[in-house]
Structures are given as C-alpha cells and as structure tokens.
Structure 1
Amino acid sequence: MGLRRLDIDRAALLTALTARDEGLLGTWLDLRDGTLRALVEPDDEAFEARLESESDHYVKVPLFTREFRLMAEFVEQVDDDELAVRLDQALAGPSAFRAWEGVLAADPSEQRHWRAHRESALEQWAASWLAGIGLTAPWTDEVPAPEVPALLALVMDGPVRRALGSDAEAHTTYVRACRDLCELLREPFPSRRVRSASRFARGPVVIERSGRDVTIRLRADDEAG
C-alpha cells in the first residue's frame, strides 16, 4: 500500500520536532488535514477531550532526540581543526548547547553550514517518521530507505546480555536502551511505563531487566507484545 500525501507545514513540523518550551505537553498532527496543534499548560480541556474522542485522527509528533549526536557528527565535517576542538570542548562542558552556539556565533560561515546541516537532518528524520505512519512528506518525492536500528543489528546473531554492577545501573541501562529503541523507530518514548516495568517490546526487539541483568533480544514468532 502506497504512502498518502498530506499537506503539512514543513517549518511548523520541524519546529514541533524540537520544541521543548516550558509548559508544552506535546504537538499533535491531524491526520485528516495536516494541521499541527500544540497542547500547552494550563490544560486545554476541549482539545484534550477531542484527542480522546478522536484518537484515530491524531498522532503525537515525537521529539527529535539526536541533537547532541547530530552536533558531534557535524564536528567531524569541520575542516578547521582549531574550530573543531572548540566545538568538541563545548560539547564536553556544561551548558553544551549554549556553548556550541557561542562558538559558532564567532564563525558565521560555519554557523550557516551547521544550520543547513541541522535542517537537512530534521527534514530526513521527519520524512522517515511520516513514512512510518503511512504518509509522505510534502517537501520531497523520495521515500526514505528504512533504517536498520542499531539495536536490531546488534542482536541478529543472538541475545545480548549485560551484567551491571548495581540495580540502579541496570535500571539506568534498561531505560536508556528503551529510549534508544524508540528513537530509532521514531516513536514517542513512554517514560512512565518504561520506568515502572522490566520488559519493553517494540517491533522485533525485546528489552528485559532482571535484577542487575539487562537483555536485548529478538521477539519470538509466537511472543505477545
């Protein structure tokens, strides 16, 4: 079945992918007309009721969680070694995002390159997310090739099990692996559910925690979600 084209405001969608404003509860895409609607505290009871009664018509826009990784990838493309070092130092220090922007502000040319690089990455990520929910991005005719999640590639030869030093470390590792899986599959991360459970499954991948052990494996053919 082919993808359905929906008229979506590109700039508004890219903004929604990275919006972390105080009080913002999320942004939803209307699958009927492509409009985007943000839910901000104090609660909009009318829109919340609509989300509940018309849940088949709305999908929550996931946050882009690769910003730091994207910045690190950009550093590798910088030809000026001195600038690259300063950018690496910005990433390694406190207030990394603010420090990063401060370094680039002193080099307008590289700042433009960074903004173009970031926008292109956001466009590709958005197009892949839209394809995953059966839609095609209005700004491109290309259907993104499916990405093989790193976690899936990791477990193709069998389960991967890690024994951690403490229950707390195992819990942190389990949550991080679940977050990575959601990111790679471009799905919202259900933080509360993950943190209160010891098993998480998405697509063909299952992540489990038992005491200090964390296991990542492929789902069995007859295994429930």
Structure 2
Amino acid sequence: MHKNIKVIAFDADDTLWVNETYFREAEKRFARLLSQYETENKIDQELFKIEIKNLDMYGYGVKGFMLSMVECALKLSNYTISQKVIEEILDIGKEMIEKPIELLDGVVEVLKQLQGKYKLIVATKGDLLDQERKLEKSGLLDYFHHIEVMSEKKVPDYKKLVKHLDIEPKELLMIGNSLKSDVLPLIEIGASAIHVPFHTTWAHEEVSQQDAANSDYKTVQSIKDIPALVL
C-alpha cells in the first residue's frame, strides 16, 4: 500500500481528537432548554434540518452550530424564547470552543513513527480559526508540514488539494473517521484511504451500505494499526 505514498493526510476531528461527542452533549443540553416547546426527538430533527440548510452559508464548525441552535429556538418557540435562554444557548457554543483537546489513544505514538518518512498534513473541514486553535492546543503542530482547512471534502476539493501538493492522486493517503468525507472521494480520484471509525458519527456524514461496499479502502479499528500498513 505504501510504495507510492508521499503525503499522508489526517482528518482532525474524531481522528486525532474527540469532537462529535461534544456536539451530542450540546444537543442534549439544547433539547433540555427547549423541553417546554417540543420533545427531544423533534428538537433534534428540527436542529439537524436547520444545520443542513445553513451549511452553505455558515460552513462546518461550532459557530455555525451556535447560530443554527438560536434559529431553531426562535422557530420552535414561535419567537417567544427569552433572552436568557438565547444567552444559555450561546454559552453552550462557547463552552464547546473552550473544551480541552482530548487526543485519541495512540495518536502521538503513530505520528512519531510516521514523521520524517512521509510528508504529514492535516486535512479537515470546519472553521479556520477554531481548527487552528485546536491544533495548537493539541500539541501536535510540530508533526505536520501544514494544515488544510477545507470548506468541503468532495471530489473537486481533493483534486485541488492534490494539485496544491504537486503530487499525483496515487501519492496521497487520507486517514479519517468519515466514509463520506475522508474515504470515498479519495477512492474516486485514485488516491488511497484508510477508515478509522469513531464511536459516533454525525448523521450528515453517514453513507449507504452499498456506497461503502462498492469502494476499495481499508478499515482499521484504531489509529495504532496504521504504521503496520504504511511502514
């Protein structure tokens, strides 16, 4: 697998450190704040619909999530939500941004083994400022050549990445937890990908079993399994 690889790109959230868990916790807190207006299930559904509608405008990340929570609260309360609750919603988002970085097991060990043997980069979606802040807080900055914060992770975006890196698609290996964002588009452009599942996945990142089965990629249970495939 490794004979052609020059660059290994790592997804950040839920590949290097915990992220989606905090969103699930925030959604539960948000549902409790709005419990007088709707059931938790209905609140989750409405918030998700608003998030997806807003992606083109806000992109990915906590800030867009905060704005979507405020919009959802206004709509579900028929615009009667109190200023105090709006403030509490904003506090949920601020607390998410200020969360300490919890590295996943084996990340530092693996990066140490790969550093110097490949060009290592981070290729992630989200808010530029937030992702740069998280990488700095993680203590992992010195392992990576640079960070690519992408507005989307689709075939055209990865083609741009390959061109920017001045390599052939076959010389890129992507490692990440999302089949939709970190694996399937890479296979389509002729690059390689390794799927490292995380225990929870945002509904927007889910793919059909058929799409997953029709692509040639490797799945490992832990990032600690990566060196055996590429060294």
TM range (shorter): 0.3 to 0.5
Greater Rg, structure 1 or structure 2?
1
The structure richer in strand per residue is 1
The structure with the largest helix share of the pair is: 2
TM-score (norm 1): 0.33
Work out which structure has the larger RCO, using CA pairs closer than 8 Å and 6 or more positions apart in sequence. 2
